């Protein structure tokens, strides 16, 4: 049976990119009746320094974001990574399977480490091995993610393949990335060549899930565009990254294909389209931010949900880790 796992870092607030590329699709997957396991990857977050109080707050707020978006902590397993030690334990084994050369090729490491890679944490370098452990400690078969995580999932497949080969077993599944929908790569509102990201220094570059209607309106009003009207076919967006981004966002928010959106909006100027986009975004996002704020009034309840989720997660992960230790030759 398929089993879905995915994770989000509590390394800042949630963005519209996280919502459309990941969270919204997590909810759809849950609604399809598949077994779903969703994780706040706090161990990944500290690969770059996090203020402890902010990390705790961001983890709770992320949990509130999952629930407000429609994740039901009864139907999905919802927890934070550090409460299930099996992730870090399997990651150690995978550190011994993965090769330095594989890690060096990871574009996220190169981006995050920047010019001074000697000064990056060892955790940042080993990040993808922990991510492989997140997925494989549940024998997850499918991982919904945005475009930017594709290379990490390929590395997860390489680790599973090498482990199975080195130990002569058919134990870890070869997990499939699921990168689908109109918004698998939401771009910055200020620069159509850059990903929308919680770490961009410009707040105007992104919609945060906590933004109110005024902030959303202002950010779309200021979003970079070109002077042409919208085309009536997708091919007309090819050389227009900013226009394409706004159309993709509208398509994903309104659950339509890009073709359907352009059939309706083709010929409109941005001065006309942006208010339509804003209205759609406010309609879809403000109920979520309102509910997030409400849930954040009860941090103890959030913590209880995460503890309960961690128990359920551990019940799945623990026997898989035990079996892994046996395969590797650890005395039990």
Catalytic residue ranges = 112, 195, 198
What mask of x and - would describe binding to ligand TYM in positions 169 to 188, judged by CB under 6 A?
--------------xxxx--
Whether 245 has a binding-site annotation, put simply, is: no
Q: Which of 155, 151, 173 is nearest to 164 (CA)?
A: 173
| Rounded distance between C-alpha atoms, residue 204 and residue 190, angstroms | 7
246 binds ligand TYM (CB under 6 A): no
Whether 11 has a binding-site annotation, put simply, is: yes
Closest CB to ligand TYM among residues 7, 192: 7
CB closest to ligand TYM, residue no: 21
155 binds ligand TYM (CB under 6 A): no
| Rounded distance between C-alpha atoms, residue 132 and residue 96, angstroms | 13
Q: What stretches of 55-138 adopt beta strand conformation (E)?
A: 77-80
Whether 195 has a binding-site annotation, put simply, is: yes
Classify the C-alpha dihedral 140-143-70-48 as positive or negative.
Answer: positive
Q: Which of 40, 41, 237, 310 touches ligand TYM (CB under 6 A)?
A: 41
Whether 9 has a binding-site annotation, put simply, is: yes
- Sequence-distant (≥ 6) Cβ neighbours of residue 106 within 8 angstroms: 127, 128, 151, 152, 155
Closest CB to ligand TYM among residues 135, 217: 135
Give the neighbor-by-neighbor strand order of the sheet with 176-178. 77-80, 35-40, 3-8, 142-144, 176-178
3-state secondary structure 156-208: HHHHHHHHHHHCCCCCCCCCEEECCCCCCCCECCCCCCCECCCCCCCHHHCCE
Q: How far is the CB of 329 from ligand TYM (least distance, A)?
A: 27
What mask of x and - would describe binding to ligand TYM in positions 6 to 35, judged by CB under 6 A?
xxxx-------xx--xx-------------
135 binds ligand TYM (CB under 6 A): yes
Closest CB to ligand TYM among residues 131, 292: 131
- Asked whether the beta carbons of 135 and 3 are under 8 A apart, the reply is no
Annotated binding-site ranges for L-tryptophan: 134
Annotated binding-site ranges: 9-11, 17-18, 134, 146-148, 186, 195-199
- Give me the residues that bind ligand TYM (CB under 6 A), please: 5-9, 17-18, 21-22, 41, 44, 131, 134-135, 143, 145-146, 148-149, 152, 183-186, 195-196
């Amino acid at each position: 049976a398929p089993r879905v796992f995915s994770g989000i870092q509590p390394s800042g607030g949630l963005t519209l990119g996280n919502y459309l590329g990941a969270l919204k699709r997590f909810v759809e997957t849950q609604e399809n009746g598949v077994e779903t396991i969703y994780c706040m990857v706090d161990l990944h977050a500290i690969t770059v320094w996090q203020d402890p109080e902010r990390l705790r707050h961001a983890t709770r707020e992320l949990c509130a974001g999952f629930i407000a978006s429609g994740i039901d902590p009864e139907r999905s397993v919802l927890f934070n990574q550090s409460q299930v030690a099996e992730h870090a334990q399997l990651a150690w084994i995978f550190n011994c399977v993965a090769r330095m050369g594989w890690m060096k090729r990871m574009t996220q490491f190169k981006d995050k480490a920047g010019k001074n890679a000697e000064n990056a944490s060892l955790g940042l370098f080993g990040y993808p091995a922990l991510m492989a452990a997140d997925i494989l400690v549940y024998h997850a078969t499918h991982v919904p993610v945005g475009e930017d995580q594709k290379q990490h999932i390929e590395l997860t497949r390489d680790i599973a393949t090498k482990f199975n080969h080195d130990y002569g077993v058919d134990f870890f599944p070869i997990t499939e990335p699921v990168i689908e929908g109109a918004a698998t790569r939401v771009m910055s509102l200020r620069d159509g060549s850059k990903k929308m990201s919680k770490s961009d220094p410009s707040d105007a570059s992104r919609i945060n899930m906590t933004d109110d209607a005024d902030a959303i309106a202002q950010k779309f009003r200021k979003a970079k565009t070109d002077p042409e009207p919208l085309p009536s076919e997708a091919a007309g967006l090819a050389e227009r990254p900013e226009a394409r981004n706004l159309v993709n966002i509208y398509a994903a928010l309104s659950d339509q294909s890009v073709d359907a959106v352009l059939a309706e909006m083709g010929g409109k100027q941005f001065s006309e389209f942006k208010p339509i986009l804003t209205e759609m975004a406010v309609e879809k996002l403000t109920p979520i931010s309102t509910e997030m704020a409400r849930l954040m009034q009860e941090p103890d309840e959030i913590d209880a949900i995460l503890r309960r989720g961690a128990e359920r997660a551990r019940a799945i992960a623990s026997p898989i880790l035990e079996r892994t230790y046996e395969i590797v030759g650890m005395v039990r």
